[in-house]
Structure 1
Amino acid sequence: MTNSLADRAPIPAPGSHAFPPGRWRGRWIWAAERAPGGGREVVALRRTLDLASVPDRVPARMAALSRYALWVNGTEVSRGPVRANPRQQPYDDVDLAPYLRPGANAVAVLAWRYDGPKPWWMPPSPLANDLHEGAFVLEARLADGWFVSDESWQARVLPGWGDNVVDRLSGRGEEHVDCRVLPAAWCTALASTGAGGQAGDSCGDAGWPAATARRAMTTGEPGRAEPPSFPGGPLGARPIAQAAPVEVALRRTAAGAYVADRIESGTLVVDASGPPGASVTVRVAEFLAGGEPAPGEHDACFTVTLDGTRRTAESLDLYGLHGALVEAGDGVTVHGIGVRTRTYPVTGGAAFRCSDPVLERIWEIGRRTVTLCSADAYIDCPTREQRAWVGDAVVHQMVDFATNSDWRLARWYPRMAASPRSDGMLPMAVAGDVEYADFTVIPDWSLHWVHAVWNSYRYVGDRDEIGGLLPAVEGVLRWFLPFRNADGLLEDVFGWVLIDWASVTTDGVCAALCGLWGRALQEFAEMAAWLGDEGRAAWARGMHRQLAAGFELLWDAERGRYADSLTEGGRGTAASQHAQAAAIVGGLAPRERWARLVEVLTDTAAHVDAAFSSPDAPAVPGGDLPVGGAYLRIGHPEPWWDTDKQVVRAQPFFRYVVHDALAAAGRADLVAGLCLDWTAALERCATSWSETWYGGTVSHGWSSTPTRDLVVRVLGVEPAEPGFGVARIEPALGALDSASGEVPCPAGLIAVAVTGTRLDVDSPVPFRHGGGEYAAGRHSIPLAGGRSVASDGVR
C-alpha cells in the first residue's frame, strides 16, 4: 500500500459502527495553487491504493467544502455531501470494497468550492478558517490499516472549470468545463510518485503537484487538518441514500434542438468531438414551444471546451429540463446530449389502481413530480431554484411516507430544517443562500414544518428523534406569542405570510394562519404527552383554548363561514377555502359547524380562482401567468370578485389542508372526486405538476397531494399508532367502483383491495377497521354501503 497508515484497528463486524467519535485520521486537503479569477474553483485529486487482496468491507467516509464526486477505478462511487447548515454537516459513508481489485487501484476526486452561498449550499463563516477556501477529506478502513487523504495525494486546480452567475433566483448562469486541462483517463490512470517525492503522472501530461493540507482555524484555536472541525462537522453519517444515476438520452428534433419525453433532473452529459478550443454550449429549457426547446430567463447553460478528441463531459451541478438548445463551434460534431438522472430512489413496489384511469394517472404524475423534487433534500423544483423551502416539503414528505419504502429522506427533512434562528423561527428555506442571508421569514412555513415533525412521529415513532426535534417545535410556537392580542389571536404577524399563491387576505388577524398555529399547538401537545412531558402539553392546550375562544370573532354568521381577516375596521367580507379548512384542522371550529364548512369547501359554483398576481381578473387554470407579481413589494390589490358571495379557491399546495379538513369532518368520500381537479394542470404539463393551477414551474412537488390522498383517504391506509406498528384501514371510495394498491410500512407492504361490497387486506401488521381489531395477515371483510358489516371485536 502506497498511502501512509495511521494506527491499526480491526474491521468492525458487519452492522457495527465503523467510525467511532473522535478525531479523523484523514486530513483536509486541496490544491496548493489557486484558480485565476473569481467564481467556482474546481480541483482534481487522486491517489493510488495498492492491495494484496480486497477485504470483504472497506468502510469509508468523506466530506468536502463545498462539494465532491469520488471515483474508484473509473466508477463513480459517491457524490456529496448532502446539503445542510455547516453546523450540522453530515459526512458521506460508503463501502469501497465492491469497486476495488487486488493490485493498484485509482482513487480520484473532483472537488469544487463555490465562491458564495447558493440555493443549495450554505457556506460557513470565512473568518479565520482556511477550509472556506476549499477542502476535501477521506478515510477508509482496511484490513491492516487506513487509506486516508493527506499530502501524499496529487491535486491540481482545473482552470476553465468555473461558472458565472447571472440569475439571482436560480443562483446560476453558465457552468464551464475545459477538457483540455484534464486527461480523459484521469480517474482510471494510476498516480505515481517521482524522484525526490515529487508527484508524477502516468497519464503522460506535465505532472501533477502534491496536495496541501487545509487547517480549520478559529479564534483561540490554532487549527488542525483533521475533522471534527469548526463550525461543527462533519458530525454524523449520511442520513439518506445516494442517487442511482440513470442516463437518459435526449432526442434530436431539429438542428441544435434536443428534447426529453418528460422533465428530467440530473447532471448534463455532452458527447462531442472537435478541434482543440472549440466549444459546445447546452442551454436547458423547462418549457417547449411547438415541441421545441424554449429557454427562458431562469434557465441555465453548460459549456464544454473540447481538447481535439471525442470526449464525454458531465456537469457538476444539477439541471432540470424538458429540452435543450445546443450551440456548437466550427468543426464540432455533437454525438449526443443526455441527462444522468440524480433523483432520490423510490423503492418497495408501492402502487395504486382504481376504476378511474384518470386518477391512476394523477397518482403516477404526483409520484413522479415528488421524485423530480427529491435530490439531497426535498426541493421546490429541479428546473429553477432547487431550494429546500421549509414549508413546501411537507407534501413531498407525505407522498414519500405513502408511496416509498425508503423513508430516510422523509425523516431527514424535519431534522435538516430544524435550524432555528435565535428567536426560534425557522428560515424560509434552509441550507442555502436564503438561510445565509436571513432577509425575511415565512411564519406559516414553519407551521407546516411542525406538521412534518408530527408526520414523522406518526409514521416512524422514534422517541429519540422526536424528542430531539421538540425543542425546535416549541421555539416555533413560542415565536408567535408576542403577536397574540387580548383575544388570544395572532395579529399583525410580520414577515411574508404566504398561505399559498391564492388571494388570501392576511392583514391584521389572518384566519388561515391562526388555524395553522392551532393545528401546531395540538400536534405539539400530542407529541409532548407521548414523550411524557405533560407540562409542555398542558401549556400548548391552554394556548389552544384561548385561541379557539378568540377565533369566534372571525365567524361570519350571516354568510355561514369564517372571514379571512379581522382588522381594526372589523371583520372582513373576503373568505377562502384556506380559512375554512384551517379552522377545522386547527381544532378551532365547533363540531356543529363542520357540515356547513364542508358545504363552503365544496360549493364549486361559489369558488373563484383569484391570485394576487392577477390583480383584476381570474387566474384561469391551465394558463400561464406569473405566480408572484408586484404585490410582493407593494402589497395586496383590492379584490375584484364579489367577496359577499364568492370564496377564494386554494392553490394545489394548500389543498392538502383542505382535504385533511374534509377527512376530519367525516367526508373523506369526497376526496377522490376532488383529486380530479388536477386534470386542469395537465394542460401545462402532462408528466409533472405545475406550481399553481395557472402558472409557475411545471415540476413542483408541493402540488402532489392527490398521490398521498389516493392512498391515505381512498385506500384509507395510515398509522393507527406512532411507529405504524398498527395500521388504520378505512377506505373511502366516493364515486369509484373499486380501488387497490400496496402501501409501505416499516414491516413491509400493506395490500388493500376495496369495492362497494368487500375489503381485502393482506397486512404484515395488525390493523383497525370499522371499530374492529384485526391480526396481521389476510382478511376479507364484507362491506355494506362502504362500511364493514361487522364493526367490533378482534379478528
Structure 2
Amino acid sequence: MRYFFINILFSLLFFKASAIEKHWAAKWIWAEEELQAEAVMARKSFELGTSPKQAIVKITASDFYQLYINGQYVNRGAARSAAHHQSYDCIDVKGFLREGKNLIAVRVVFEPGAQSYQFEARAGLLVQMEVDNQVIVSDDSWRLMEDSSWDKESPVISRFQRDVCDNVDMRSYSHAWFTGDFDDSSWSFAHELMRNAGWPAHQKGVRATASINPWIKLVKRDIPMLKEELLLKPTLILTKNYLEYPQGLVSEKVLLDGTVDKAISRGISKKERFELVFQEDEKGRLLLFDFGKVMNGFPLINIEGISGTQIRVLCAPYVLNNHFCASLVDAKYEDRITLSGKRDLWEASYFKPCRYMAVWVENSGYPVTINQIALRHISYPFEQKGLMESADAPWVKDFFTASAKTIEICTTDAITDNYRERRQYAQTGYYGALGNYYIFGGMALQRRYLIQIAQEQMADGIMPAYAPLATSDYMVILDSNCFWLKSLWNYYLYSGDEKTVRQLLPAAERLLELLHGFTNEHGLIDNPPYAYWLDHAVNDRSGANFTLNAHYLEALENYSELLNWLKEESYDGYMSKAKTLRGSLQKLFWNEESGLFVDAVVDGKQSMQVSEHANAMALALHIATQEQGNKISQNIVEEDNDFVKRNSGMTTVTPAMSYYLHKGLCEYGSVKASFELLNKRFNHMLAENTNQTLWEEWWLHGSGRTGKFMPGKTRSDAQTESAFPPALFAGYLFGLEPVEPGLKRWALKYIDSGVENLKGVIPVGNAQMQIEWKVGKKQSLKLVIPQGIQIDVDIKSLDAKGTVWVNKQELRGDATTMNLTEGEYNITF
C-alpha cells in the first residue's frame, strides 16, 4: 500500500512538470487506411510575419522520421520506445526558419509487426511546431503522399529486428519533395487518425487528438539526440569487374587482393565525381571502400545513370580471413536501388554496422557517374571522462579503450547487446554499466532501460528479456529478470537517483514475489516455467541450476541492501531468503571429489556436469569457503587453451560471463592469475588486423557456445556484455569500491596485482577523482578527491608496519582506516 501512494505522488509530480509545456494540439496523421502505406512524405507550408525569436518542433513517429525545414535536413528520430509511452523529440529549429513562407517536410517509414508486448503496432506521424506565439500542428491540412519508391516486400536485415534493407525504385521517387519549389498540389490531404479499437466506436463529432491508441502517453525524450556526421572520404581498397552476373552478391566472399583503380581512388580522396565506363562484356563493377573503423551509419550515394540501372550497396563491420562479405553476423546488409535516369540522391532508411562499404553497379550499356559516396555516421554523444592506464602494463589502457569502442558501436538510442540484434536486453544494461560508469560516467541510458523494461512488465510480475519489442519474438529469460533487479541496485549506487528508484520499487516487488513462487523448500529456483540464458552455453538446466540461483541470490542481496539504503523496513525479509538460498548453494552443490560446484541438483542428486559459469559465481559471490575457493581457483588458472571445454571436462565461460570468473578469482586472492587469464583469452581481439573491440564469442567464425563450428555462421565483433574490464580494473588494480549511493563514499586498499604503476581518472557525478599508484623501491599513492566525496583508505593494506605518511606528515595512532575528503593527497608507505 505504501508503494501505491508513492506511485500516486510521483505521478502527480510528473503531471505537474509536464503541464508546464504547451498542450498538444497536433493530431496523428497518415495516409488513408486502404493504402496500407509503409512510407509516406508529408509537407506543410506556413507564413511567418517576422524572423522567429524562438521555435521548437515537438515530433515523433512510428517507426522513424526524417525532418526537413525549408529544404534543409534537420535530423531523424524518434528514440526507441513502446508506443504506450511514445518518446517525442523537442528540437530547436529557429535557425532554419525565416520571415515569409516556410516549409516543414517529413518522411516517415513504418514497419508492420510487433512494437510492444501490450499493444498492436500502428503507423503515424505527430508534429507540433511552436514559433513564438504561433503553433503549426499536424492535421488534415497537411499534404501527404505515399512514397511509392519503397518496396513493401523489402527483406529484413536480421531475424532479431523489424528493420529492413532498402529496396527502392528511384523512378517512382518524388525528387526534391522536401524543397519549397516542389509542387505538391497533386498530393492528397493527410488523414487524421482516431481510436481504431474498442467498442462502441467513436460517435459523430469526436475530434482527433494526440492521445489515442496505441499512443496513450507521450513522453519527452529523456536522452540526448544522437550525433550525426557525414563521412565523405572513404578509402577505396578494391575494384573488381564482373563478367558474369553474381549469384547472391550479398553472400559472396570477395577476396581483398589489393586491386584498385587509381583514377577512381584519386577522385574520391579529392571529393571529386568520377565516371564508370564499362567494357562491352562486363556485367558490372564492384567498388569496395574502407571507412577506417566500425561505425553505425546510413550509406549514402549521389549517382547518375540511365533509367533502370541497378545499384547495390553492401556493408560489413569487419572482413574475415581477408574476405569481404555482406551477410556477416546472421544478418544481410544489402540495399538495392534502381536509378531513375536523373541525378539520384539515395540514403538508407535503416543504419548498418559499417566499416567496409561495397557499391556494385550494373552495366546497363551506358556510363554511370558517381558524385558522392558517404556514410551518415550516428552515435550516442558519449563524452569520455574516465581513464585507466599503466606505463608498465599497456594492456590496461588497451582493454579500457576496447571497452569504450565496444560500448560506442553497440549504442545508439540504447545500450544494446551488439549491432546484429540491437535489442535492449536487461542483462546488457548491467554489463554495459560496468564499462559505461568508469569510461563515460553516463546515467541516462541506464535509467532508460530500467524504466522501459518495467513498462512492459506482465500481470504475473515477469519482465520480458528486452524492451521495447523488436519483433514478435516474445522472450522471457529468468536470469535477465535477476539482472534487472541487480541493475536497479547498481544504478542507485552510481547515480543516487532516489526518485527513479522509488518509482520502480513496485515493479521490483511484483517480480520478486513471482520468483519466490518458483522456489523449493531449500529456497532454490527449481524447474522454473521460464527459460534462462547463461549465454546459451553448455550447462545442465534440469532441476535447480547453480548459476541461475546464484544470480537470484545476488538479486536478493542487492535488493535488500537497496531497501536498507532507502530506510525501508522490509529489507530483512529479503536478506532472510538470501541467507537460506546461500546456505543451500554451499551445501547441496559442492562435489568434494572433483573439488568443484556442480551445475545442477535434480531431486536431491548432483548433476555430473561442471562449468566455469557455476564456479565463477561461487567465487564472485563468496558462496565457496576459502578452502573450496582455493581448489576452484587452482583448477581454473591451470594452463588450458580450449575456449569450449577444459581438460577437466569443465565448460568454459563465454566472454559475457567472464566478468564473474575474473572477479571471483580476484576475490579469492588469485589477482595476478586472473589478469593473466584475461589477457590470454581476450588478447586476440585486440590484434592489429581487427577493430580492437571485444567480441560476442571467442571466435568470429564459429560457435563458442556449443564448440561446434557452424559453416557460414559468424558473430559480432562487439558485444556490450564483454565490455566489463573497467569495473574489474577499478576493483582489483586500483583497489576502489563505491560503498554509498551517488558515489559519495569509496573504500580504497592496495592490491598486489602485479601492475606496479597505475594512473586513473574516475568519473563521480560531474566531477572527476584522480588516483595514481607507484609501487617499487618508493611506494606512493596520489589522490585528488572532488567536493562531496569521501575515500576510506585501508591503512593496513599499505604497510604491515603501519608506517604511512600523508602530505609528508607521519600517520600516528592505531586507526585501521584513514577517511579522506576533498583535497589533494600524497601518501607514501
TM-score by length of 2: 0.79
Match of 2:692 in 1: 687
Match of 1:165 in 2: 155
Match of 1:333 in 2: 369
Q: Render the CA deviation track for 1:601-637: whole Å, top value 9, x for unaligned.
A: x423368532xxxxxxx5xxxxxxxxxxxxxxxxxxx
Match of 2:212 in 1: 229
Match of 1:83 in 2: 80
Indicate which of 648, 652, 655 corresponds to 2:651. Answer: 648
Equivalent-residue separation in structure 1 for 2:201 and 2:564 (angstroms): 43
**Offset at residue 346 of structure 1 (A):** 1.1
Q: Render the CA deviation track for 1:194-220: whole Å, top value 9, x for unaligned.
A: xxxxxxxx3257643322211134424
Match of 2:66 in 1: 69
1:244/1:557 CA distance change after superposition, 3 Å: same
Equivalence map 1:295-334=2 (5 Å): 295-296=326-327, 298-329=331-362, 330=364, 331=366, 332-334=368-370
Match of 1:581 in 2: 616
Equivalent-residue separation in structure 1 for 2:53 and 2:731 (angstroms): 43
Q: Does 1:149 align with 2:138?
A: yes
Match of 2:410 in 1: 373
Q: Is the 1:377–1:409 contact (alpha carbons within 8 Å) kept by the matching residues of 2?
A: yes
Partner letter of residue 767 of structure 1? Q
Equivalent-residue separation in structure 2 for 1:783 and 1:709 (angstroms): 32
Equivalent-residue separation in structure 1 for 2:354 and 2:557 (angstroms): 41
**Offset at residue 71 of structure 1 (A):** 2.3
1:300/1:98 CA distance change after superposition, 3 Å: same
Q: Does 1:274 align with 2:316?
A: no
Q: Is the 1:91–1:236 contact (alpha carbons within 8 Å) kept by the matching residues of 2?
A: yes
Equivalent-residue separation in structure 1 for 2:630 and 2:52 (angstroms): 66
Q: Is the 2:161–2:470 contact (alpha carbons within 8 Å) kept by the matching residues of 1?
A: no
Greater CA drift, 406-415 or 474-483: 474-483
1:61/1:667 CA distance change after superposition, 3 Å: farther
Match of 2:177 in 1: 186
**Offset at residue 479 of structure 1 (A):** 2.6
**Offset at residue 260 of structure 1 (A):** 3.2
Equivalent-residue separation in structure 1 for 2:792 and 2:496 (angstroms): 21
Match of 1:410 in 2: 446
Equivalent-residue separation in structure 2 for 1:570 and 1:768 (angstroms): 47
Greater CA drift, 731-740 or 366-375: 731-740
Q: Render the CA deviation track for 1:128-176: whole Å, top value 9, x for unaligned.
A: xxxx552111113332132222222221111021352255345555312
Match of 1:194 in 2: none
Q: Is the 1:607–1:647 contact (alpha carbons within 8 Å) kept by the matching residues of 2?
A: no
Partner letter of residue 144 of structure 2? A
Q: Does 1:238 align with 2:221?
A: yes
1:123/1:571 CA distance change after superposition, 3 Å: closer
Greater CA drift, 24-33 or 542-551: 24-33
**Offset at residue 652 of structure 1 (A):** 1.1
Greater CA drift, 554-563 or 169-178: 169-178
Partner letter of residue 125 of structure 2? F
**Offset at residue 46 of structure 1 (A):** 1.8
Indicate which of 110, 131, 145 corresponds to 1:113. Answer: 110
1:24/1:171 CA distance change after superposition, 3 Å: closer
Q: Where does the alignment leave 5 or more consecutive residues of structure 2 unmatched?
A: 1-15, 240-285, 701-714, 796-804, 822-829
Equivalent-residue separation in structure 1 for 2:569 and 2:201 (angstroms): 43
Q: Is the 1:401–1:410 contact (alpha carbons within 8 Å) kept by the matching residues of 2?
A: no
Match of 1:452 in 2: 487
Equivalent-residue separation in structure 1 for 2:170 and 2:655 (angstroms): 44
Q: Report SS of the residue matched to 1:483.
A: coil
Greater CA drift, 568-577 or 412-421: 568-577
Q: Is the 1:90–1:233 contact (alpha carbons within 8 Å) kept by the matching residues of 2?
A: no
Match of 1:193 in 2: none
Match of 1:177 in 2: 168
Match of 2:660 in 1: 657
Match of 2:29 in 1: 29
Partner letter of residue 678 of structure 1? F
Equivalent-residue separation in structure 2 for 1:229 and 1:513 (angstroms): 41
**Offset at residue 123 of structure 1 (A):** 8.2
Q: Does 1:424 align with 2:461?
A: yes
Q: Report SS of the residue matched to 1:229.
A: coil
Equivalent-residue separation in structure 1 for 2:793 and 2:422 (angstroms): 43
Match of 2:744 in 1: 725
Equivalent-residue separation in structure 1 for 2:73 and 2:815 (angstroms): 57
Equivalence map 1:267-666=2 (5 Å): 267-289=298-320, 291-296=322-327, 298-329=331-362, 330=364, 331=366, 332-355=368-391, 356-382=393-419, 384-418=420-454, 419-434=456-471, 436-438=472-474, 440-535=475-570, 537-551=571-585, 552-568=587-603, 570-586=605-621, 588-590=623-625, 593-600=628-635, 602-605=636-639, 609-610=643-644, 645-665=648-668
Equivalent-residue separation in structure 1 for 2:62 and 2:740 (angstroms): 41
**Offset at residue 463 of structure 1 (A):** 1.4
Equivalent-residue separation in structure 2 for 1:744 and 1:493 (angstroms): 40
Q: Is the 1:281–1:327 contact (alpha carbons within 8 Å) kept by the matching residues of 2?
A: yes
Q: What is the aligned length? A: 713
1:417/1:674 CA distance change after superposition, 3 Å: farther
Equivalent-residue separation in structure 2 for 1:477 and 1:307 (angstroms): 59
**Offset at residue 574 of structure 1 (A):** 2.8
1:139/1:713 CA distance change after superposition, 3 Å: farther
Partner letter of residue 584 of structure 2? G
Equivalent-residue separation in structure 2 for 1:741 and 1:692 (angstroms): 29
1:107/1:522 CA distance change after superposition, 3 Å: same
Q: Where does the alignment leave 5 or more consecutive residues of structure 1 unmatched?
A: 1-15, 127-131, 191-201, 611-617, 619-640, 773-778
**Offset at residue 780 of structure 1 (A):** 7.3
Equivalent-residue separation in structure 1 for 2:744 and 2:96 (angstroms): 38
Equivalent-residue separation in structure 2 for 1:115 and 1:482 (angstroms): 37
Q: Report SS of the residue matched to 1:605.
A: coil
Greater CA drift, 149-158 or 590-599: 590-599
Equivalent-residue separation in structure 2 for 1:780 and 1:209 (angstroms): 77
Equivalent-residue separation in structure 2 for 1:782 and 1:697 (angstroms): 52
Q: Report SS of the residue matched to 1:363.
A: helix
Match of 1:95 in 2: 92
1:737/1:102 CA distance change after superposition, 3 Å: farther
RMSD across aligned positions (CA): 3.2
Q: Is the 1:247–1:339 contact (alpha carbons within 8 Å) kept by the matching residues of 2?
A: yes
**Offset at residue 367 of structure 1 (A):** 0.8
Q: Render the CA deviation track for 1:697-745: whole Å, top value 9, x for unaligned.
A: 2122211112443345433455331112334454646122322232222
Identity percentage over the alignment?
21
**Offset at residue 554 of structure 1 (A):** 0.6
Match of 1:739 in 2: 758
Equivalent-residue separation in structure 1 for 2:225 and 2:748 (angstroms): 33
Q: Is the 1:672–1:735 contact (alpha carbons within 8 Å) kept by the matching residues of 2?
A: no
Q: Render the CA deviation track for 1:658-704: whole Å, top value 9, x for unaligned.
A: 23334555666665444323103346834222211134221222111
**Offset at residue 472 of structure 1 (A):** 2.3
Q: Render the CA deviation track for 1:352-395: whole Å, top value 9, x for unaligned.
A: 3222223322221221111111111222222x222222222321
Partner letter of residue 112 of structure 1? V
Q: Is the 2:145–2:187 contact (alpha carbons within 8 Å) kept by the matching residues of 1?
A: yes
